[in-house]
Amino acid sequence: MIREYRKYKNRRIYETLLKRYATFADIAAALYDGDIVRIFFRKDGMDIDVTREVLLEVLISVEAKRVNPVLTVETLHQMLSIRRELK
């Protein structure tokens, strides 16, 4: 299932299908269930796709709560150094 969300200027996220505000935990749960998530921000009358940015925030939120995180400090160092090498 594709779940569509709207992000507002006040940083709140609204799930259009269920007609309710959603948390990062709600979005993570949708992903765990195998759903596809799309998140849009309305600016100047146009919908801007902010899915990537919000999913990064969700990842940070989920990882911060884990006892044994997938993204260790070493992994983050490697990811950032690879990015530097690609410049």
Average pLDDT (12-41) is 96
pTM score, two decimals?
A: 0.82
Mean pLDDT for the chain?
91
Domain that holds residue 36: 2-85
Number of domains observed in the structure of the chain: 1
Q: Is the pLDDT of residue 87 over 60?
A: no
Coil, strand, or helix at residue 9?
coil
Nearest of 16, 9, 8, 21 to residue 37 by alpha carbon: 16
* pLDDT tens, position by position, 73-86: 898 888 888 866 66
Q: How many whole angstroms separate alpha carbon 18 and alpha carbon 15?
A: 6
Instruction: Give the mean model confidence (pLDDT) for residues 47-70.
Output: 92
